[in-house]
Amino acid sequence: MLFFRSEDDLRAWCGERGVEAGPMVPVPQLWRLSRVWYGSRLDPEAPRPTPGEARAIFAGVGLTSPFWDPVPRQEQTP
Amino acid sequence: MTFERRVRTAILTAFAETGITPSPAGIAERLGSEMERVLEAWDRLREERAIVTGEDGVSIRMANPFSGIPTEHTFQSAGVRYYANCAWDALGIPAALGRAGTVRSRCAHSGEPLRLEVTEAGPERCDWLFHSLVPAARWWDDIVFT
C-alpha cells in the first residue's frame, strides 16, 4: 500500500512491473477511511470489524468496487 | 474485558505512548501479569491477526496501524516518531491517536518525498494518491507484502 504523487506515476510504476493498476484513492478519501477504520482502535472496548462491517466501512467512504470486498462473493457461505 | 483484550490494548497503548515496539516482558510489567500468561495471549492475538510477529514468533512486526520495525512511512507528533506499516497506516496513526502531526512518506515511483501536515480535522490539501496492488480479500495472504 503506497503513495503516488500523480496518476501518471502510478501507471508508470504499474507498467514497469507488468501489473494492472487498482483503484486510485485520493488522500482526503483515505483520511475518511482511516478515521472510521482506526478512530477507535485504542478504545479497549472497540471490536475489530467483521468482514461484513469492513465491507460497510469501505462502502461508507465510497469504496464500493469488488476490489474492496474483504470476502469474495463466490467464497461466501449462502 | 478478557485478558487477551487487555494485552492487545496494552500493546497499542505502549505504541501510542512511546512509538517503541513493546515486548512481552514490557507488557507483562505494564499489566502486572505473569510473562507466561502474556505469551499465551500473544499467540492468540497472532492467530486472530491482531498482531503480526517476526520470525521469532514473539517480536511484534505489526500491530496496525503501528509498525514494529522502521519503515519509510512515519508520523511525527509531540516529539514521538511512529512507524506505519504502509501508506494507509501513515494516516491511520493520526486517526487512531487523534493528534496533529506530520506524515512523511514518498512517491513509490518517483521517490519524491511526501510531507503532509495533519490536524485533528484531517490532512492539509494534497493531490497525491493512495494505491493498493492487492485486493482486500487477499490482504492477509501475505500481509507484509500487502
What is the predicted ipTM?
Answer: 0.90
Chain B: closest CA distance from residue A60 (Å): 15
**Between the CA of residue B117 and those of A54, A57, B111, what are the distances in Å?**
27, 25, 19
Instruction: Work out how many domains chain A is built from and give that number.
Output: 1
Instruction: Assess contact for B42 and B51: CB atoms under 8 A.
Output: yes
Q: With CB atoms and an 8 Å threshold, state whether B130 touches A7.
A: no
Chain B: closest CA distance from residue A72 (Å): 6
Chain A: closest CA distance from residue B57 (Å): 22
Give me the pLDDT at residue B137, please: 85
Residue A73's pLDDT band, with cuts at 50, 70 and 90, is: low
A positions 54-73 inside 8 Å of B (CB):
54, 58, 66-72
Is residue A78 pLDDT above 80, yes or no?
no
- Residue at A35 is within a domain: yes
Grid cell for residue B74: 512515519
Q: What is the pLDDT along chain B (146 residues), one digit of tens a residue?
A: 899 999 999 999 999 999 999 999 999 999 999 999 999 999 999 998 899 999 999 999 999 999 999 999 999 999 999 999 999 999 999 999 999 999 999 999 999 999 999 998 999 999 999 999 888 888 888 777 77
Give me the pLDDT at residue B17, please: 96
Over residues A23-68, the pLDDT tens digits come to: 999 999 999 999 999 999 999 888 778 888 999 999 999 999 989 9
**Amino acid residing at B58:** V
Give me the pLDDT at residue A74, please: 55
Q: With CB atoms and an 8 Å threshold, state whether B86 touches A2.
A: yes
Where are the domain boundaries for CATH 3.30.450.410 in chain B?
Answer: 64-146
Select the CATH number that applies to the domain covering B3-63 from these four: 3.40.190.10, 3.40.50.1970, 1.10.10.10, 1.20.1560.10: 1.10.10.10
Range of the domain at A57: 25-75
Where are the domain boundaries for CATH 1.10.10.10 in chain B?
Answer: 3-63
Put simply, whether A50 touches B (Cβ < 8 Å) is: no
Nearest to B131 among A21, A69, A70 (CB): A21
Give me the pLDDT at residue A77, please: 44
- Residue at A58 is within a domain: yes
- Helix/strand/coil (H/E/C) assignment for every residue in chain A: CEEECCHHHHHHHHHHHCCCCCCEEEHHHHHHHHHHHHCCCCCCCCCCCCHHHHHHHHHHCCCCCHHHCCCCHHHCCC
What is the second-level CATH architecture of the domain B64-146?
Answer: 2-Layer Sandwich (3.30)
**How many residue pairs from chains A and B have C-beta atoms closer than 8 A?**
151
- Residue at A2 is within a domain: no
